[in-house]
Chains A and B, each alone.
Chain A
């Protein structure tokens, strides 16, 4: 089956810093989503981005489908950005496959 690898596994930054999270996947996909899991466990959709670039406030994402990777950018980090960021992909069959996540800690 399709493999999803996220890097780095952990990232610790000071408030105000910028960060880049990476997601590599092993096969072509028709769906790629980024999620943020807050410290209470709730997963929130950030982006549906099988290709191209999208921006939402301080967050943006780029997927280069031909090279099988996606990047999530967080600018001017805030403590509320802390949590785990998951990339998930789908290749038909309506089943998302999740990466292991990047745990982001933003210190004040």
Chain B
């Protein structure tokens, strides 16, 4: 298996622009997570899905952030409009339903908003 795939790996954009981050989870996994990591705040959970349904989006910072999972093999995290404080590394992770909490992370997308 190729693991969790994220694209793009790097994104540089200007304030006010729309940014879309993409994630392909591991086939067969029931859960998909979006995290954000910064030096100041560490690793934060933004939202997670179970069987394509959003379960908890309490970590989404503002209405400017939205996430979708139209099918089991694809998810997007959108920021519109983007701001410099959104600059961070965004990770997608997936896991399967089971007795253990083992999450598999993608390589991340490094977002820079100028």
A and B from one assembly? no
Interface residues of B (CB under 8 A from A): none
Interface residues of A (CB under 8 A from B): none
